[in-house]
Structure 1
Amino acid sequence: MSDLKVDDTAVQTTALGDYGHGHVVDANAPREIQLTFREALQLHAKAIAWSAYVSIGVIMLAFDPQLLGNLYAIPQFANDFGYLVDGEYVISAAWQTGLSMGNPVGQVVGAIFAAYPMEWYGRKLTFGACVLLTGGLVFIQFFARSLQVLLVGELLGGIVLGMYVVIAPAYASEVCPTSLRGHMTSFVNLCFVIGQLIGNGVTNGTSSLTNHWSYSLPFAIQWVWIAILLPGLAFVPESPWWLVRRGDLDGARKTLARLSSPEVNVDEVLQFIVHTDRLELELELGSTYMDCLKKENWRQTEVSAGVYCTQVLSGIYLINYGTYFFEQAGLAEADAFNMAVGFLAVGFVGTLISWYVMVHVGRRTIYVYGLAVLAALQIVIGILDCVPGRPSGAIWAESVLMIIWNGIYDLTIGPICFVLLSECSATRVRSKTIALATMAQGVLGIAMTVAIPYMINPGEANMQGKLGFFFGGLALLCLIWAYLRVPETKGRSYEELDILFARNVPARQFKAYVIEGPNSGDEK
């Protein structure tokens, strides 16, 4: 245990039953909770930089399935790996499903394994090990000359890549102050978009090559991210929350000093972390996977898993088949590639705009209204696909609406998912809650990876734009759940959120519900 003294008087652990109703739980809460966005940027620039650095791993996670989905539309890839059907080489739906399974299976398996080293060895060492493993496994994909070898590379690579999506939001939520927490956890979504956008751009650039470099070069691009990350691995600050749980208060204090400017009262922030950790011990929130499923944590786990699963159910996995989807919708190959790149470029802009919106609008409002718009757009796309004869105007309208859909997605439920994912989970079980949510999302992703090739393949269901009815219906069901269960977390400290969940406050009352000092009386 560290010799650093923490003022127990300033951070008294108060039993849950002693809390009355009011917004300010502790008069000794650190100033960082009341910081404006601009103040937080100035005082915690280093925390922002390191959070963004760790999130780069998500770019690799997003690049891989986007790359693979686009390869199906590259003639040379089909010639080298496919079989002849009616004078044209194609990759069967079964092999498309098998190859595309690597990423979602990896998310499930990787998420299971990620939480343990994150708790045993910390966020820093786990992240570093993942980067080194990714660099090695890319060799399998790069030298693959058969579908069987490529499948092995995708499965093994997917397991490691799946760990990044657990590490990144957990790390961002633990090194950034409250006023920046939403922006840096939502940066994970921007990294997804960046990875997908780069994947589309790279395959668009190599699609005209008439040798193996049309697909080998895109695989090799993954080493660029390894080269960017390697020099900084030894200098990544560890999570101060993890260090406090390990009893290393000196280490936590040094890390907080590294992550903030000299004007920040590091001791005050450290005291509040210790206080919140003690409160969670008192609430018996635990630290294991089984603790995530206990009644004390179940609601947080449900919300975290629900908002993540909604991404899949609303249709985001179509992005992995962007170029192929637009081709099957009726666009020419060149138009399909260009549309797929524009599709993700709009998503990139949408995520940037979401950072501004998050400062002024609550998480719940953005999430619920965004999901409603997404459901409506999918249904309209389905209706357009039913136009007799499917004229070119209807085909282009469907494609444009899909681009608008992606813009709205990355303005609303895309980035807000990662904010809610980190804010709703208790700090002691955050890595495991995020892991469980990732596993749930991955299982649904596996189902979609199996289903989507069969739904859009012209030799199978050939649903084209009618997929809008399928995903629009699922999005409507998710909308009902979100309205009833997704709470407002904007501006709340982790301590306040723990108490609100422990009190079973209804989701629609989170914003107005306040907690005053001890023994203060009833809700106002």
Structure 2
Amino acid sequence: MATDTASPKPRQESLDDRDKTSIDGDILKGGIRVGAIGGEEARDATAREHEMSFMTAVRTYPTAIGWSVFFSMGIIMTAFDPQLLGQLFATPRFQKDFGYKYQGNWIISAPWQTGLLMGSPIGQVVGAFFASYPMEWFGRKKTFGACVILTAAFVFIQFFARSLPVLVTGELLGGLVLGTYAVIAPAYASEVCPIALRGVLTSYVNLCFVMGQLIANGIVAGTQKLDNHWAYSGPFAAQWFWPLVILIALPFAPESPWWLVRKGREADAVKALRKLASSEVDVQPTLAMIIETDRLEHELEAGSTYMDCFKKINLRRTEIAVGVYSIQVISGIYLVGYATYFFTLAGLPTDQAFNMGVGFLAVGFVGTLVSWALLIYFGRRIIYIVGLSCLVVLLFIIAILDCAPNYANRPAISWAQASLLLIWNFCYDFSVGPVCFVILCEVSATKVRSKTIAIATAVQALFGIVMTIAIPYLVNADQANARGKIGFFFGGLAGFALIWAYFRVPETKGRTYEELDIMFAKNLRTKEFKTYLVDGVHA
């Protein structure tokens, strides 16, 4: 099973030039080194994980992969709801039933669009900070089940809503629960899967976001021609599919063995480990590793709070985590929810706009799969920087095209912008989208990792709230009507983000958590991370 400890072998060189009892209290504490696992079984289990290849891990832990993917279905629900609303804004029947007439066309006003879309980012803020409490009290499994039941209940409000105030209420209540899944899914995956699978399953979070958006686009594309309330009631009802599947299978899911050990339920932890691994795996060494790691982390994390993330030893790591996650919003990801609406504003016919919206996310799906291969052969930093650079260039080209003379009578320009937006989404989903989650987990200090991720998620969601308010006013025909010129706005923000990332995001590929602790504690410059030697060994 995965552990946040590093290699069990002492790294003598890295200790020669350091205080052997402490480095700002992060690497060593009380003479105990992070990564110095005690007990023969625990050392064997840790060494086995470090030596395990990706394909060996796939063959050995297929059920762990399956249950990790199962818990990630919550992320699909999280992405489905806001994407659904973005597509409904371009649905004729939804516009007529919930909007008003402007210059001969039915539209949803910018303030109401903002209110409807506010549930998701607000939910991420609340869920990020508070999901960890029931997860620790009742376990990952029960918390997940309770959240799924609440999601199903709040869908009733959306389904029967026939006025904007009622629909906004349903979206806000639903969003508060949907925000918890972004914490539950990665936490569960990190506790049931071996280290060899952690990179792919971490980036899988991004694929779940894409799948949720893609499914929403596909469903609305199939119902948008209906001339009754089922044009929007049908897509809302489709959200019940996920709770139905999850609640049927959830009783058979194993609880996190890490949580069970922390609760003193070691016998139950053994049962959970046996469910997660193939039959030939001896789970006793893994249990010993979890027990020993829990003992060490308990000593190191005792008394830690959210404020620990802002102490000198962790401040840089928190900055990087917050930065890479926030850049998702700054570089324009919230345009994904408006893709179809953007295509209609750009002049494409409604049917073609919906088709482009589905193709838009299908390209993103492929991009995320490509990122898995890139992560094996290339460093996180180079993928992230190159991808972000592409986003900046594409956004400015889209904006410049919008300035062409006689734009309204030149449909070729609209198609060019739509095509460039497809390329933008592919670039985002092989770089900034999935690699963000990998960097986020790898730069976070072990003892405050969950708190660092929570802070990064909350800050990213706060940026999302700003964009949720701003975008309707920027793109709506009765407001700024910026059309493709919105590329100047996001291109400029992404340009500043690129400069920050170049100087602040280090290379973390192939590094154990212990090595990263050492390098951050030594305050290495960003460019030194890639070539720094630990005990004379390069990553």
Normalising to structure 1: TM-score of the pair? 0.90
Q: Select which of 444, 453, 466 maps to 1:447.
A: 466
Give 1:419 deviation, angstroms: 1.7
Match of 1:502 in 2: 521
For residue 429 of structure 1, report the CA deviation from its aligned partner: 3.2
Match of 2:452 in 1: 433
Match of residue 127 from structure 2: 110
Tell me which of 82, 91, 97 is aligned to 1:80: 97
User: SS of the counterpart of 2:106?
Assistant: strand
Q: CA deviation at 1:280?
A: 4.4
Note if contact 2:360-2:422 (Cα within 8 Å) is conserved in structure 1: yes
Question: Relative to structure 1, is the Cα distance of residues 523 and 47 closer, same or farther in structure 2, using a 3 angstrom cutoff?
Answer: closer
1:467 maps onto 2:486 in alignment: yes
- Summarize deviations over 1:358-414 as a string: whole Å, max 9, x none: 111122221121111111111111122122222222221111010001011111111
**Aligned position for 1:410:** 429
**How far does residue 45 in structure 1 lie from its aligned partner after superposition?**
1.1
Task: Find 1:156's aligned residue among 145, 160, 173.
Answer: 173
Shift of 1:298: 2.6
> Deviation string for 1:168-209 (max 9, x for gaps)?
122222222222111111111111111101111111111111
CA distance in 2, matches of 1:269, 1:499: 25
In the TM superposition, what is the alpha-carbon distance from 1:89 to its structure 2 partner?
A: 2.2
- SS of equivalent to 1:196: helix
- Shift of the 106–189 alpha-carbon distance from structure 1 to 2, 3 Å rule, reads same
**1:99-129, Cα deviation, whole Å (9 max, x unpaired):** 1111111111222221222222222222111
Question: Secondary structure in 1 aligned to 2:72?
Answer: helix
Q: Does 1:315 align with 2:349?
A: no
Instruction: Between 211-220 and 251-260, report the one with greater CA deviation.
Output: 251-260
Which residue identity lines up with residue 459 of structure 1 in the other structure?
A: D
Q: What is the identity, as a one-letter code, of the residue corresponding to 2:470?
A: A
Taking a change above 3 Å as real, the CA distance of residues 253 and 16 of structure 1, as seen in their structure-2 partners, is farther
Cα 1:203/1:126, change in 2 over 3 Å: same
Q: Which amino acid counterpart does residue 455 of structure 1 have in structure 2? A: L
The within-5 A match list for 1:10-409 is: 29-280=46-297, 283=300, 287-390=304-407, 391-409=410-428
Letter in 2 for 1:88: N
Q: Counterpart in 2 of 1:6? A: none
Q: Once structures 1 and 2 are overlaid, which stretch shifts more, 273-282 or 256-265?
A: 273-282
User: Is the contact between residue 32 and residue 177 of structure 1 (CA under 8 Å) also seen in structure 2?
Assistant: yes
Change (3 A) 1:288 1:495: same
Cα pair 1:16 1:283 within 8 Å, conserved: no
Q: Which amino acid aligns with 2:415?
A: W
1:23-45 deviations in Å (ceiling 9; x for gaps): x9777532112222111111111
Distance in 2 between the 1:189 and 1:359 partners?
A: 17
Aligned-partner Cα distance in 2 for 1:431–1:123: 14
Aligned with 1:84: secondary structure?
Answer: strand
Tell me the equivalent position of 1:7: none
Deviations 1:17-69 (A, max 9, x none): 698xxxx9777532112222111111111111111000001111111011101
* Distance of 2:447 and 2:140 partners within structure 1: 14
- Check the 8 A contact 1:55/1:188 in 2, yes or no: yes
| Aligned-residue offset at 1:275 | 4.8
Aligned pair in 2 of structure 1 residues 509, 474: CA closer, same or farther (>3 Å)?
same
**2:471 partner letter:** I
Structure 2 unaligned residues grouped into runs of 5+:
1-7, 12-19, 29-34, 38-42
CA deviation after TM superposition for structure 1 residue 494, in Å: 3.3
CA distance in structure 2 between the aligned counterparts of 1:431 and 1:118, rounded to whole angstroms: 12
* Counterpart Cα distance in 2 of 1:407 and 1:414: 10
CA shift for structure 1 position 417: 1.4
* Distance change (3 Å), C-alpha of 1:514 and 1:273: farther
Contact 2:119–2:175 at 8 Å: present in 1 too? yes
User: Are 2:148 and 2:243, in contact at CA under 8 Å, matched by a contact in 1?
Assistant: yes
- Work out whether residues 76 and 209 of structure 1, in 8 Å CA contact, stay in contact via their aligned partners in 2: yes
**CA–CA separation in structure 2 for the residues paired with 1:110 and 1:371:** 28
Helix, strand or coil: the match of 1:30?
A: helix
What stretches of structure 1 of length at least 5 have no aligned partner? 1-9
SS of equivalent residue, structure 1 residue 89: strand
Alignment RMSD, CA only? 2.7
Partners in 1 of 2:82 and 2:365 — Cα distance?
A: 17
What is the identity, as a one-letter code, of the residue corresponding to 1:429? V
Note if 1:419 corresponds to 2:419: no
Separation in structure 1 between the aligned mates of residue 398 and residue 204 of structure 2, nearest angstrom: 29
What amino acid is the match of 2:474?
Answer: M
Counterparts in 2 of 1:82 and 1:308: CA distance versus 1, 3 Å: same
User: What's the offset of the Cα at 1:510?
Assistant: 2.8
1:513 matched residue in structure 2:
532
Q: 1:118 to 1:305 in 2, by over 3 A?
A: farther
Letter in 1 for 2:433: G
Q: Which amino acid aligns with 1:453?
A: P
Q: 1:285·1:428 contact (CA, 8 Å) conserved in 2?
A: no
**Range 350-359 or range 492-501, more displaced:** 492-501
Other structure's SS at 2:120 match: helix
Q: Which amino acid aligns with 1:434?
A: I
Residues 423 and 278 of structure 1: CA distance in aligned 2, closer, same or farther (over 3 Å): farther
Taking CA–CA contacts closer than 8 Å with sequence separation of 6 or more, which of the two structures ends up with the larger relative contact order?
Answer: 1
SS of equivalent to 1:66 = helix
CA contact (8 A) 1:30 1:269 kept: no
Query: Which has the larger displacement, 150-159 or 241-250?
Result: 241-250
How many Å separate the matches in 2 of 1:154 and 1:78?
A: 17
For 1:497, give the aligned amino acid. L
1:490 corresponds to 2:500: no
The percentage of counterpart residues that share the same residue type is 59
CA deviation after TM superposition for structure 1 residue 250, in Å: 4.2
CA contact (8 A) 2:301 2:447 kept: no
Q: Write the distance in 1 (CA, Å) between the matches of 2:255 and 2:109.
A: 46
- Aligned with 1:221: secondary structure? helix
**1:108-160 Cα distance to aligned partner (Å, 9 max, x none):** 12222212222222222221111111111100000001100000000000000
CA distance in 2, matches of 1:89, 1:383: 29
Describe the shift of the 1:401–1:157 C-alpha distance in structure 2 as closer, same or farther (beyond 3 A): same
The 8 Å contact of residues 513 and 523 in structure 1, kept in 2 or not, is answered as yes
**1:467-502 CA deviation, whole Å, 9 max, x = no partner?**
111111111111122222223333333344334333
Q: Secondary structure at the match of 2:319?
A: helix
